[in-house]
């Protein structure tokens, strides 16, 4: 049995322990930076930038459960424009040869729906999911390649990974700034203007970020031996948590309110009888589209929500 303060302290400790270490974070940063430099040197006819998306950009990375597993490093390979390339040409004819020649991969590279999945032999701690894309004329939106495996066709679809990261941090901006100021004072730091955002993103973790990390770890433990494909996906967990977060200043209050509100929020946002969890940075994109063709995934998500609430926020935890 715990007091509320004890439970918050415990959750902060657990979240810190499952967070990526500074050394591993720096190693990941070096890997995608090195890949970007190499691609830039190998492609004089194209202007390309490489940057992380997903949990690395959001500060919600968690360690793999097993030491035999590695970190997922989601990377956007962004061309400055389309250069007249079709989606298939960009992914197959341009990006694939670059990734094949960058370093040795005994496992080869795997063509997934929106990315290339690569395990390089000399980068044992990480596997990379590299998303071919090009920048839209608007300057923020991008078009990524999507592979329809059944029809074996390729097309461009819109996306906005940098916009999603900005939206996520806007959802916890008040607590982020408060914790950043506390961090600077505690460490007696003078932070150069250019480094402020880097310090914020790496060293300061809000209750929202910690909740997302803890929910993802609970999910991973609960589905550790489940290969059904119904395991709740991180983007839905993250979006749900960020939308329902109300700038609570501690983990347990944020966790409790998010998990309590989630089922009703999901049902209230259904459209025409179908699940619809919209990408907050790209209107019309439905993160829950697969729930409508695979209803067992929605059922599994609701089962997990209830179990997470019972395990992480139940009154029985309190003294």
Residue with tokens 């979006």: 239
What is the DSSP track for 217-243? HHHHHHTTT--SS-SPPHHHHHHHHHH
The DSSP code for 106 is T
Average of per-residue pLDDT across 48-52: 92
- Integer Cα distance of 20 and 25 in angstroms: 6
Question: What are 254-287's pLDDT values in tens digits?
Answer: 999 999 999 999 999 999 999 999 999 999 999 9
pLDDT at 179: 87
Query: What's the mean per-residue pLDDT of the chain?
Result: 91
Q: Calculate mean pLDDT across residues 220-235.
A: 94
pLDDT of residue 195: 53
Locus of tokens 């590299």: 130
pLDDT category at 199 given cuts 50, 70, 90 is low
Contacts of 315 (CB under 8 A, 6+ apart): none
Angle 192-197-199 from CA coordinates, rounded to 5°? 75
Q: Could you tell me which residues are beta bridge partners of residue 134?
A: 79, 143
pLDDT for position 112? 94
Asked if residue 202 has pLDDT above 70, the reply is no
Question: Long-range contacts made by residues 109-117, C-beta under 8 angstroms, separation at least 24?
Answer: 111/147, 112/147, 113/146, 113/147, 113/149, 114/144, 114/145, 114/146, 114/147, 115/74, 116/91
Q: What gap in Å lies between CA 21 and CA 305, rounded to an integer? A: 28
pTM over 0.85: yes
Residue 64 scores a pLDDT above 60 = yes
Say if residue 47's pLDDT is above 90. Answer: yes
Residues 121-143, mean pLDDT to the nearest whole number: 89
The mean per-residue pLDDT over the stretch 57-81 comes to 90
Strand partners, 151: none
Cα 52 to the chain's mean position, in Å?
Answer: 9
Residue 122: which pLDDT band, with cuts at 50, 70 and 90?
Answer: confident
Q: In this model, does residue 203 exceed pLDDT 80?
A: no
Of 78-87, 161-170, 197-206, 302-311, minimum mean pLDDT range? 197-206
DSSP class of residue 252 equals H
Query: Range with the lowest mean pLDDT among 12-16, 204-208, 229-233, 314-318?
Result: 314-318
3-state secondary structure 163-186: HHHHHHHHHCHHHHHHHHHHHHHH
Mean pLDDT of 199-204: 66
Beta-strand relationship, 71-79 and 126-135: parallel
How far apart (Å, rounded) are the C-alpha atoms in residues 118 and 50? 15
Q: Residue 182: what pLDDT?
A: 85
- Work out the average pLDDT over 237-264: 97
pLDDT at residue number 144? 97
Across 35-39, average pLDDT: 93
pLDDT at 194: 44
Cα separation, 120 vs 126, in Å, equals 8
């Amino acid at each position: 049995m715990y007091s509320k303060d004890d439970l918050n302290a415990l959750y902060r400790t657990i979240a810190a322990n499952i967070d990526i270490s500074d050394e591993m974070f720096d190693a990941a940063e070096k890997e995608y930076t090195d890949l970007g430099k190499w691609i830039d040197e190998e492609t004089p006819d194209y202007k390309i930038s490489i940057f992380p998306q997903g949990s690395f950009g959001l500060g919600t990375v968690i360690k793999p459960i097993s030491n035999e597993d590695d970190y997922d490093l989601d990377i956007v390979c962004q061309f400055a424009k389309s250069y007249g390339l079709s989606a298939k040409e960009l992914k197959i004819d341009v990006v694939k040869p670059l990734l094949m020649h960058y370093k040795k991969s005994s496992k080869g590279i795997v063509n997934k729906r929106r990315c290339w999945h690569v395990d390089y032999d000399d980068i044992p701690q990480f596997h990379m999911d590299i998303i071919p894309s090009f920048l839209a004329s608007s300057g923020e939106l991008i078009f990524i390649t999507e592979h329809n495996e059944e029809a074996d066709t390729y097309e461009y679809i819109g996306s906005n990974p940098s916009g999603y990261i900005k939206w996520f941090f806007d959802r916890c901006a008040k607590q982020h700034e408060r914790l950043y100021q506390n961090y600077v004072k505690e460490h007696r730091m003078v932070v150069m203007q250019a480094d402020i955002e880097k310090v914020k993103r790496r060293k300061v973790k809000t209750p929202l970020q910690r909740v997302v990390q803890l929910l993802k770890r609970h999910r991973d433990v609960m589905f550790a031996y489940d290969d059904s494909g119904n395991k709740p996906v991180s983007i839905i967990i993250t979006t749900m948590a960020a939308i329902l977060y109300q700038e609570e200043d501690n983990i347990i209050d944020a966790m409790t309110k998010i998990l309590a509100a989630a089922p009703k929020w999901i049902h209230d946002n259904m459209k025409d009888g179908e699940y619809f969890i919209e990408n907050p940075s790209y209107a019309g994109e439905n993160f829950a589209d697969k729930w409508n063709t695979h209803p067992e995934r929605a059922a599994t998500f609701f089962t997990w929500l209830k179990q997470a609430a019972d395990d992480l926020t139940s009154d029985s935890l309190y003294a």
